[in-house]
Homo-oligomer: A and B are copies of this chain.
Amino acid sequence: MRKENSTNTLNKQNLEKECGMSYALTTIGGRWKPAILWRLCKGKMRYSELRDAIPNVTERMLVLQLREMEKDGLIKRIVYAEVPPRVEYEMTVKGNSLRPILKSLSDWGDENRL
């Protein structure tokens, strides 16, 4: 989906290399990531529970955002060999290290939006 050598991609990469803040913001900054992280902070959840808990997400978007966060090591995907399938999502240690930051972002947002 990403072109390897577009200026767009190169700019993104350079910024993330130079600047921890940029890196942090892209790992948690997708449209549905806050909604997912918020819920997983309270405990592990199944795919269908997440889907039903988050209004208006499409399955495609949910999966995309879960995959990205898994790749970035924020969450862990646990598959049970059952039929019908069961898959649970859970925060990793790295993901949990974000908790205080997520909390302070959330508090700041609640205080500052209109």
A13 to B22 alpha-carbon distance, docked (Å): 23
Kindly identify, within residues 91 to 111 of chain A, every residue whose CB is under 8 Å from any CB belonging to chain B: 94, 97-98, 100-102, 104-111
Contact A15–B31 (Cβ < 8 Å):
yes
A56 at the interface (CB under 8 A from B): yes
Q: Which residues of the partner chain B approach A105 to less than 8 Å between Cβ atoms? A: 20-21, 24-25, 101
Contact of A19 among B21, B56, B106 (CB under 8 A): B106
A11 at the interface (CB under 8 A from B): yes
Count residues of A near B (Cβ-Cβ below 8 Å): 39
Interface residue SS majority, chain A: helix
A6 at the interface (CB under 8 A from B): no
Contacts A11-B56, A21-B34, A97-B108 supplied; 5 other A-B pairs, CB < 8 Å:
A19-B35, A20-B105, A20-B106, A21-B102, A23-B112
Q: Chain A interface (Cβ within 8 Å of chain B)?
A: 11-12, 14-17, 19-25, 28-29, 31-32, 34-35, 37-38, 55-56, 94, 97-98, 100-102, 104-113
